[in-house]
Chain A
Amino acid sequence: MALPSHASPLERVWHYTYLVICGLIFLFLIAPILIVIPLSFNAEPYFTFTQKMLSLDPTGFSTRWYDLLLTFGMQEPEAARDGSWWADAWENAAWINAAKNSVIIGFFSTLLATVLGTIAALGLSRPEMPYRRAIMAILISPMIVPIIITATGLFFFYSATGLANTYAGIIMAHATLGIPFVIITVTATLVGFDHSLTRAAANLGATPTTTFFKITMPLILPGVISGALFAFVTSFDEVVVVLFVAAHDQQTIPRQMWNGIREQISPAILSVATILVIFSIVLLATVELLRRRSERLRGISPG
């Protein structure tokens, strides 16, 4: 991208303009995500930087919105913060309960999506798989079909089958939404897979199960884990299906956020958003490390 020494003045001007434009687009991408972090420490219930915050006055900042996350919904939020206060928060705080639900639903739907998805990806990446293209298209379609259509269909289907208002129903629905990501990442990992390794294992007397756990699994593990992370994030961020098929008391973090934004947006939402942004930074770093490891394992030169 370096500018050649024979570039004309016009080209030089354009080159720097181009870099500035790119910088602005990157700013457009990242600024909205980072802006919530300082704003969540606002001492006032405003969504903008106060004078005190801009002059970096410590009194302009506070952690009161994070505190509200803990105390909101508690029986006795004003009591002394001892063991029983924390027990109260764990039992009754609305956001903590939502987080518990989100983690339970996310964990089981990820497990379901990853196990089924990985096994299916093994079959789909075999060259002799019949109707590969059509089946693949159906398995990926939950990612493409608008979520409102899926949710409407699930609402009809679940109310007819009695799965409405159950954890099982939400977990199954979220697993379906996560499956395309598992299939895509695992089949991508399997593209460069050297099948002579499994044949060598079979030749040395390993059963198919042993071969899978000792040979195939360690090699495709990075892909499986990133697929699982995608599936978990999908479930952890899903609100429409939950709104349509979950019972009223089955709150999840996104549903609680949705209600908060729709009814009365308070800076407490920003503190949740900040926690979720940090969460996504951790996830991104994990996936990036996994990708590099996978490339190293498969002998693709690292970047």
Chain B
Amino acid sequence: MTDAPADPHLVTAAQPSSARSAGLTTADGQPLKAALNAAEAKAKWHAFFLVLPLFAFVLLTFVAPIGQLLYRSVHNPGFTTHKDLSTGAQTPIMTELREWFDNNPQGTEPDEAAYAALAKDLVLLRELKAPGSVGTRINYERSGSRSMFTKAARRAERLEAPFKEAMLDLDEDWADPEIWAAMRGASSAYTLNFYLAAVDLTRDTEGSITQVNENRQVYVTLFQRTLFLSLLITFLCFILAYPIAHLLATLPLRYSNLLMIFVLLPFWTSLLVRTTSWMVLLQSQGVVNDALVGTGILADADRIQMMYNQTGTIVAMVHILLPFMVLPLYSVMRPINPSYVRAARSLGATSWTAFRRIYFPQTIPGIGAGALLVFILAVGYYITPALVGGADGQLISNLIAFHMQKSLNWSLAAALASILLFGVLLLYWLYDRLIGIDNLKLG
């Protein structure tokens, strides 16, 4: 506020009559410094109260849900508390077994007392009609466990000592150290096991962290594929955006505003429409293949498969994200003074040298802004890969959706989402640092 001191009703000249007050005062006798401070504090509160309603709204509808997601990723009470869906009453379960786990260190061979505790807990599960949900919790870590729980709970009342033999008679797998390790891990509602699972790690029977079987390693590969595809898409966007941003920036505004429609129309068009268009174009019986066959470039038999694989994902995503690269590049290129390049040329540089040494370095801020934005958006993309990606064009978001909707392993979905969120927020912070969100422009 450069013009603040000119505010006429706030400041008057020092009043020489009041001999006691040293320094400047306002018209009503307050010290000037205090009056200014009060005015500034008031202005701060004014600004803050304007933002407050929206801030509270976003906290409620966005920050709180994200917090809930993070909580879910470390908290799963499936093996510790049973919640009755109709009454909402919560009952602690598997208490006996937890006590045994507390008294015996990891790796202890389960003895008769352990099996007795398990049998007792199973009786309670049967009463609560909960063996299914408890079995599901163990099933996340060791497949095939769910049926063991439902079967054992059905017969739990009739089990008699010695419980170890009785349980093993029901199913030999109860002696499997893996299931005991899984139960021990699940006996605490707070766990980091879902994060371990999200990066293809698991705890072995001794409790130390190991890699899961090679044929079950999916997540690390998928994270790598997501990163790789996002980088590739960002690079392709850059390659395609640079020439047209340059053209738009050097043409007279009259023409460039017209050509800008080509960039902005896709930006305004529904994502699903654009994805549908690409499905129509790239299908094996679609327009592109038909055109290639019709012009004789391709034989009818070897139509290119461009849909439901990585090619489809890449092409459609480059098209969708291209405007996010063009717009920042354009806003950096427009103000570049053409006389620098002319000066370089007149000093003897070839047009390539002038571009490489003079023009290109001036556009790097735009490249950084566009690339970072495109990469951030690409990493979390869901809709397009889900529709055109097929099996090998899926990204990490699609797996999160799979665990939310199909496998119903919500804690694993939350852990995967948290890892993705962490990466995106890191990039977002970087973007804010380097470019500033204030400079984000839309059209």
Q: A interface vs B, CB < 8 Å?
A: 1, 11, 14, 18-19, 21-22, 25-26, 28-30, 32-33, 35-36, 39, 46-49, 112, 116-117, 119-120, 122-124, 126-130, 133, 135-142, 144-150, 152-158, 160, 172-173, 175-176, 179, 181, 184-185, 187-188, 196, 230, 233, 236-237, 239-240, 244, 254, 257-258, 261-262, 265, 269-270, 273, 276-277, 280-281, 283-284, 287-288, 291, 303
CB pair B62–A142 under 8 Å, yes or no, is yes
Taking A26-B259, A230-B442, A270-B280 as contacts, is the C-beta distance between A149 and B69 under 8 angstroms? yes
Chain B residues 380-420 with CB under 8 Å of chain A are: 380-383, 387, 397, 400-401, 404, 410, 413-414, 417, 420
Taking CB as reference atom, which chain A residue is nearest B272? A257
The interface residues of chain A lying within 8 Å CB-to-CB of B376 are 144
CB pair A126–B54 under 8 Å, yes or no, is no
The interface residues of chain B lying within 8 Å CB-to-CB of A127 are 1
CB pair A176–B69 under 8 Å, yes or no, is no
The interface residues of chain A lying within 8 Å CB-to-CB of B377 are 144
Taking CB as reference atom, which chain A residue is nearest B64? A157
CB pair A47–B49 under 8 Å, yes or no, is no
CB pair A36–B277 under 8 Å, yes or no, is yes
CB pair A30–B428 under 8 Å, yes or no, is no
CB pair A240–B269 under 8 Å, yes or no, is no
Interface of B: prevailing SS = helix
Q: Is B220 an interface residue (CB 8 A)?
A: no
CA distance A275 to B319 in the complex (A): 20
Which of A22, A135, A148, A175 is the one whose CB lies under 8 Å from B400?
A148
CB pair A153–B68 under 8 Å, yes or no, is yes
CB pair A28–B424 under 8 Å, yes or no, is no
Name 11 interchain pairs, CB-CB below 8 A, sorted by A.
A22-B244, A30-B266, A33-B269, A33-B273, A33-B277, A124-B50, A152-B414, A172-B57, A269-B276, A276-B273, A287-B443
Q: Hey, what's the 0/1 contact readout for B413-436 against A, CB within 8 Å counting as 1?
A: 110010011001100110010000
The interface residues of chain A lying within 8 Å CB-to-CB of B55 are 120, 135, 138-139
CA distance A288 to B254 in the complex (A): 13
| CB of A166 to closest CB in B, whole Å | 13
How many residue pairs link A and B with beta carbons under 8 A? The number is 275
CA distance A178 to B222 in the complex (A): 30
Residue with the highest number of chain B CB atoms closer than 10 Å, among A25, A116, A141, A262: A25
CB pair B269–A146 under 8 Å, yes or no, is no
Q: Is B441 an interface residue (CB 8 A)?
A: yes
Choose, from B155-163, B195-203, B283-291, the stretch at the interface: B283-291
The interface residues of chain B lying within 8 Å CB-to-CB of A49 are 287, 290
Taking CB as reference atom, which chain A residue is nearest B421? A149
Q: Is B361 an interface residue (CB 8 A)?
A: no
| Interface band, chain B | 35 or more
| CB of A260 to closest CB in B, whole Å | 9
CB pair B43–A126 under 8 Å, yes or no, is yes
Interface of A: prevailing SS = helix
Q: Is B347 an interface residue (CB 8 A)?
A: no
Contacts beyond the supplied A152-B404, A291-B443: 14 A-B pairs with Cβ under 8 Å: A46-B285, A123-B46, A137-B432, A144-B428, A148-B400, A152-B414, A152-B417, A153-B65, A157-B68, A184-B440, A188-B441, A239-B272, A281-B265, A287-B268
CB pair A273–B276 under 8 Å, yes or no, is yes
CB pair B275–A124 under 8 Å, yes or no, is no
CA distance A160 to B75 in the complex (A): 15
Taking CB as reference atom, which chain A residue is nearest B251? A1
CA distance A153 to B105 in the complex (A): 36
Which of A1, A124, A149, A244 is the one whose CB lies under 8 Å from B250?
A1
Q: Is B351 an interface residue (CB 8 A)?
A: yes
CA distance A156 to B414 in the complex (A): 10
The interface residues of chain B lying within 8 Å CB-to-CB of A146 are 379-382, 397, 420-421, 424
Q: Is B38 an interface residue (CB 8 A)?
A: no
CA distance A119 to B51 in the complex (A): 7
Which of B65, B244, B265 is the one whose CB lies under 8 Å from A157?
B65
The interface residues of chain A lying within 8 Å CB-to-CB of B425 are 141, 145
| CB of B294 to closest CB in A, whole Å | 9
CA distance A47 to B3 in the complex (A): 65
Question: Which 5 A/B pairs are nearest by Cβ-Cβ distance?
Answer: A146-B380, A123-B50, A153-B65, A303-B253, A120-B54
CA distance A155 to B61 in the complex (A): 11
CB pair A284–B268 under 8 Å, yes or no, is yes
CA distance A120 to B322 in the complex (A): 30
